[in-house]
Amino acid sequence: MFSQQSFQMYCAGMFMTSAHVLNVKNPYDNTKVAQTFLAGEPELEMAIREAQNIASELAEIPSYKRFNILKQISEELMAMRQRFAELITFESGKPIRYALSEVDRSIQTFSVAAEESKRLPSEHIQVDWTPAGVGKEGILRYFPIGIVAGISPFNFPLNLAVHKIAPAIASGCPIILKPSSLTPLSTLMLAQIIDRTVLPKGAVSILPMDRQTGNKLVTDKRISLLSFTGSPEVGWKMKNNAGKKKVVLELGGNAGVIISHGADLEAASTKCVVGGFAYSGQVCIHTQRIYVLENLFEEFTEKFIEKIKTLKPGNPIDPNTDITVMIDEANAIRVENWIIEAVNGGAEILAGGKRDGSFMQPTLITGSHEDMLVCAAEVFGPVVVIEKVKDFAEAINRINSGRFGLQAGVFTDSISEMNLAFNKLHVGGVIINDVPTFRVDHTPYGGIKDSGLGREGIKYAILDMMNPKLMVKNC
């Protein structure tokens, strides 16, 4: 469908090629999806200089025009919904049902950004709280921070890029986005929509790059903000190398779930299977660790295993497929090795555990220890650990014990347990009677500890992309 296409990079408002061809492969069958091109230092320099040139013009665009630009992008995405979903499926191996959901979320993300562009923050401050302030008034406004660098991952190739592009447009900041070299095509097709708007050329550049060139987004002093979504090891290293620029990091985790008294075990098990195995667990808020109260453990585990058995493997373009290959065989081998390590350490496989090329069976493990990789690290694959706990407090302690703190899910009908979880869980978000995999795109999203720094979510990303400035007037 796309194999004869050549997706050009989008640099400083122009579509162009380079001498460095990048062939994008379908993870399911390793066939060529389409080709694009890698930007080098000359193209990146062109993008940065043009972003500098149009920064003032971009900052002065009135809110109604920003709104119209963002709504146009949202509406054109809607008109091309199926085509975008198919492209995401082919380049990432994501089942088409989840690819369609990702496109829907991207449409909504641009729509929310359009609304937020009309309510950029400002504040009137009463200054006369002290004698020195008598006869004066304060006005606080927010101004674009400058050039934004966005680096997005393979697992949500469109929507996680949109979470950087849309707030940049809304806040009046030029942005240079580096998509994953594994999945750059959907963002380059998005560039074709952006190019049809009246947004000044150079406001958005989308440049596939190798890591050496892309690292200049981290180190270049002309860039004011770096927004990175990816692995903790890479993200914290980027922060150390970023100099004085502002840095926002979304770095994933090993999300935990508590199953407590009063939980609807049927509903909870269904949601946990989806949370654990959607897109083969390649989701930063993938349901990785489930802690079940002792007297519920057997019944819940039985329901969970039965639902795993109903997952349909197959070609991701088939609308009936639930689970398919991982992004590549290297990652599938890594996950398999983590499972082997757990079993060698005394853990038991309750379901799955086998690998065939890039396909890793949906796997359920029990009898794990907190220092095993399947517990302590971000598995980013179709593996769930399930353990029994004696009470709710122990479950909270088990979730808090690790280095990550992105989101957690709690299934309970107890108001006191809901409040206890909210107050005591060391995470960025607590989801009641649903899995930590739940996210809607206008809410603040991010974590603590090794899970990141700052928050995504359109309103909150806009705040990161703007600087406050105070004017004090003598009346």
Which tens digits make up the pLDDT trace of 262-290?
999 999 999 999 999 999 999 999 999 99
| CATH fold group of domain 9-251+451-474 | Aldehyde Dehydrogenase; Chain A, domain 1 (3.40.605)
5 band by pLDDT with thresholds 50, 70 and 90: confident
pLDDT in tens, 299-322: 999 999 999 999 999 999 999 999
Concerning whether 57 is annotated as a catalytic residue, the answer is no
Contact 285/255 with Cβ under 8 angstroms? yes
How much of the chain exceeds pLDDT 70, in percent? 99
3 band by pLDDT with thresholds 50, 70 and 90: low
Domain range annotation of the chain: 9-251+451-474, 256-440
Q: Is the pLDDT of residue 160 over 90?
A: yes
Report the C-alpha gap between 97 and 59 in whole angstroms.
38
In the chain, the amino acid numbered 57 is E
Contact 211/183 with Cβ under 8 angstroms? no
Q: Is the pLDDT of residue 4 over 90?
A: no
Catalytic position from the list 284, 336, 378, 387: 284
Average pLDDT over residues 131-154: 97
475 band by pLDDT with thresholds 50, 70 and 90: confident
Average pLDDT over residues 103-127: 97
pLDDT in tens, 203-247: 999 999 999 999 999 999 999 999 999 999 999 999 999 999 999
Contact 399/370 with Cβ under 8 angstroms? no
pLDDT in tens, 187-196: 999 999 999 9
pLDDT in tens, 440-467: 999 999 999 999 999 999 999 999 999 9
**What global pTM score does this model have?**
0.96
pLDDT in tens, 24-66: 999 999 999 999 999 999 999 999 999 999 999 999 999 999 9
pLDDT at residue number 338: 98
pLDDT in tens, 322-346: 999 999 999 999 999 999 999 999 9
Return all residues near 262 (Cβ < 8 A) that are at least 6 apart.
Answer: 412, 413, 414
How much of the chain exceeds pLDDT 90, in percent? 98
pLDDT at residue number 410: 98
Common-topology check for domains 9-251+451-474 and 256-440 = no
Torsion sign over Cα 382, 388, 392, 397: negative
Contact 228/245 with Cβ under 8 angstroms? no
In the chain, the amino acid numbered 231 is S
Catalytic position from the list 43, 86, 250, 329: 250
Using DSSP, state whether 180 is helix, strand or coil.
coil
Q: Is the pLDDT of residue 385 over 80?
A: yes
Among 3.40.309.10, 2.40.33.10, 3.40.190.80, 3.40.50.720, what is the CATH number of 256-440? 3.40.309.10
In the chain, the amino acid numbered 69 is I
**Angle (deg, nearest 10), helices 159-171 and 185-195:** 30
What SS3 string covers 222-284? Answer: CEEEEEEECCHHHHHHHHHHCCCCEEEEECCCCCEEEECCCCCHHHHHHHHHHHHHHHHHCCC
User: What mean pLDDT, rounded, does the chain reach?
Assistant: 97
Concerning whether 284 is annotated as a catalytic residue, the answer is yes
Count of CA atoms in the C-beta half-sphere (13 A) of 473: 8
